[in-house]
Amino acid sequence: MVINRRDFVKLSGLGLGLGSLSLPAFARANKPPMGRVVVIGGGYAGACVAKYLRIWSMGSIEVVVVEASQQFVSCPLSNLVLGGSKSINDLSFSYDLLKTNHGIQWVHDQVTAIDVSTKKISMLRGELSYDRLVIAPGIDFIYDDLPMLASTEAQQQVPHAWKAGWQTVNLRKQLEAMPDGGVFVMNVPKAPYRCPPGPYERAAQVAYYLKNNKPKSKVIVLDANAEIISKKGLFSKVFNELYTGIVDYRPNNTIIDVNLKAKTVKTEFDSVYADVLNIIPSQRAGKVAQMAKLNNIDKRWCEVDFLSYESKLAPNVHVIGDAVSAALPKSAHMATNQAKVCASAIVQLMAGLAPDAMPVFANTCYSYVTDKAAIHVANVYRYDAVKKIMVSAEGGGVSASPSEQEGLYAKAWAQNIWADTLT
Amino acid sequence: MLLHVRTLAASCAACHGTDGNSVGSSINNHATATQNDLSHINSLAAIDKTDFISKMQAFKLGQRPATVMHHHAKGLTNLEIEDLAEYFSRLPAHQAAVLQSQPLLKDHGH
């Protein structure tokens, strides 16, 4: 196992230049490291916490990220690969700038065990000890109800494409190969799952492609939920008016069986034939969180303290991103928000100071309904000191209607969150 | 106070860029732009404090055209808006780097 030599950070933004804005915890730039934080996972949450730990500790916390992938591939915008207006190569990025700009040590390896009592993690090729651990494991799929989909071969035929990458490319190829008049069947798993508006955006993107290329075809959406669970009015309108006769939306339709040979799926009501089948399984906190036994809520999600994202089960271990149990959308923006609250809290805690007692942050999820037009849902979330959870503040809401202007802003959002997370 | 406003301000970065310097916008665009540019989201770094407060209050009251900012401004207290004004006004403006994408690697896991 190789750990890169530690680079010295270039202090940016709220660094030394802004003396009067400095906090006591910052005034340590020339002192020895305050300690080591190991971050497991380099997605939106993990990459972001690593960056902000380095910036806000002014380089005095040593940060080591452990990530199994060589590359960052963005889930946001990946539905546009299905619609045809983006390529997966537009959404794939190197970690190099993040590492070098902030002096983050990077270990390309897979975690095999976590010992919270000795504060050690084991990987395929070595071990690391930590003062604090941040687990940003993303999601893991649950195949208990649909075991026939668990294998790699089955997922060649029926991709989830719910982690952007080759499965996204595969699903796009299947859509391109589908004859006009074909049926694309997809599902929405029971909430909570990663990216609440995502499946509906996907249905719209597939419909956009079909409307322009194979207008006799259909998208059947089997929703395990009782209704569209995000931007309901907007998506209903898009399905009914923009994609009339193409999107066939069916609420309360849980998939209970899949016949891979016959290409049919069974719900409680029906058996549906699919030319192309896309099943997004139910989800839980990623494998690393399960390894540390932190997924205590419904055996799926991790309970945390919302002032620091420290696990309720293991001291000095923090969990951020989609794996967290919260009444918060599992979005990329939310993952970065949690990462920032967590980074800020860790810097304080390691300096023996208290974290912010009332965190507030803004969250937005954009969805594209054509190649150019988008809609949003936006809310400010605020810590409730009585309930000890994050609650949405007054004044949030959704777009009045889809617009190309919001399509441009959604693109700007993507470029800014990528730069904020990866440079 | 600073701790509180710093994480709040950092949550604006998803659209307005790290430390308020957004991708694609020219430095100090808010000084010159009276209307919103349509292809990118304006930077907030080095913004004039009074300008910031009046824009945020106008978003809050629905008096300034907005696609999304009314939904954010309405959730913030007046004190938070003042603290954000102080904070962003002190951040230096610079050109934000655009992150270049690259081909998906053959051995990417999923």
pLDDT band, residue B25 (cuts 50/70/90): confident
pLDDT exceeds 80 at position A345: yes
**A-B C-beta contacts closer than 8 Å:** 194
pTM: 0.93
pLDDT exceeds 90 at position A28: no
For tokens 């139910």, name the residue.
Answer: A282
Interface of B with A in 31-70 (CB under 8 A): 38-41, 60, 67-68, 70
User: Residue B24's pLDDT is what?
Assistant: 83
CA A279 to chain CA mean position, Å: 18
Q: Which residues contact A230 (CB under 8 A, 6 or more apart)?
A: A196, A197, A200, A329, A365, A377
Chain A partners within 8 Å of B6 (Cβ): 14, 56, 344
pLDDT exceeds 80 at position A5: no
- Does residue A93 sit in helix, strand or coil? strand
Domains plus CATH for chain A? 5-140+284-355 (3.50.50.60), 143-282 (3.50.50.60)
Interface of A with B in 322-381 (CB under 8 A): 332-333, 336-337, 340-341, 344, 348, 355-356, 358-364, 376, 378-380
* Residues B7, A360: C-beta atoms closer than 8 Å: yes
Report pLDDT digits (tens) over B31-81.
Answer: 444 445 567 999 999 999 999 999 999 999 999 999 999 999 999 999 999
Which value, to the nearest 10 degrees, does the dihedral of the CA atoms of residues A195, A199, A202, A208 take?
Answer: -130
Q: Which of A48, A348, A415 to mutate to test the interface with B (most CBs of B within 10 A)?
A: A415
Report pLDDT digits (tens) over A264-322.
Answer: 999 999 999 999 999 999 999 999 999 999 999 999 999 999 999 999 999 999 999 99
Please, where are the H alpha helices in A135-225?
Answer: 152-157, 166-177, 198-213
Interface of A with B in 380-409 (CB under 8 A): 380, 382, 392-397, 399, 403, 405-406, 408-409
A416: nearest CB among B15, B101, B110: B15
Q: Is A418 on the interface with B (CB under 8 A)?
A: yes
Please state, in angstroms and rounded to a whole number, the distance separating the CA atoms of residues A405 and A244.
24
Chain B partners within 8 Å of A360 (Cβ): 4, 7-8, 75-76, 80
Report pLDDT digits (tens) over A49-101.
Answer: 999 999 999 999 999 999 999 999 999 999 999 999 999 999 999 999 999 99
**Nearest CA among A134, A123, A126, A112 for reference residue A51:** A134
The residues spanned by each domain of chain B are 2-90
Average pLDDT over every residue of A171-177? 98
**Nearest CA among B73, B71, B59 for reference residue A398:** B71
Report pLDDT digits (tens) over A371-402.
Answer: 999 999 999 999 999 999 999 999 999 999 99
Nearest 5°: CA angle at A216, between A214 and A221?
90
The CATH code of domain B2-90 reads 1.10.760.10
